[in-house]
Amino acid sequence: MQLAPVSEAVPARQSEHADEPAGDDVPGSHIVQLVDPDAQKTDAYQSNRNLMLSDDAEANSLPGLEIQANDVRCTHGATSSRIDPEQEFYLQSRGIAKSAADELLTFGFFEEVLARLDHETLQESLRTLIKTKFKK
């Protein structure tokens, strides 16, 4: 479970996104958005996207909002899907093998999150870790 506090005493905007691969060993996620009593005028959105990478994959998204202020706007959403067959077909029609197309689409899924990290070494380490999952 991840906890994302919002505790500013002035109006705040907070957005939390979780992008999760759902392979055989990833059970899902539970993220709680916490809005402290002093964080009035908070405008928060919580998003959880799951990419199903195997037939046995399961994603159990449980967005949670713990709101302790009374003048806020907090919303959430969750999606789970497999690799888009139309995107996969598009890449294959350009001569890219199915396995390479799947790899490109999966890396694209993660890149949005990795690009937000403010630590280049961590970004590269995570990219390497993701690539090793395709080499198994």
In which domain, by residue range, is 118 found?
Answer: 83-136
Strand partners, 4: 33
The angle that helices 120-134 and 98-114 make with each other, rounded to 10 degrees, is: 160
- 75 and 112 fall within a common domain: no
Q: Are residues 76 and 93 in the same domain?
A: no
Mean pLDDT of 51-69: 81
Distance CA 17, CA 65 (A): 13
For the chain, percent of residues with pLDDT exceeding 90: 28
- Per-residue DSSP letters for 26-74? --EE-EEEEE-TT-TT-EEEEEEEEEE-STT---EE--EEEE--SS-EE
C-alpha distances in Å from residue 111, one per residue of 6, 33, 95, 123: 25, 23, 23, 9
Tell me the average pLDDT across 43-57.
Answer: 84
Decide if pLDDT at 119 tops 50. yes
Position 30 scores a pLDDT of 53
Residue, of 101 and 112, whose pLDDT is higher:
101
Predicted pLDDT of residue 72: 82
Taking 50 as the threshold, does the pLDDT of residue 36 lie above it? yes
Do both 106 and 74 map to the same domain? Answer: no
43 with 77, same domain: the answer is yes
* Mean pLDDT on 49-71: 82
* Residue 48: pLDDT over 90: no
Into how many domains does the chain fold? 2
Residues 92 and 38 in one domain: no
Residue 17, SS3? Answer: strand
What's the whole-number mean pLDDT along residues 53-68?
80
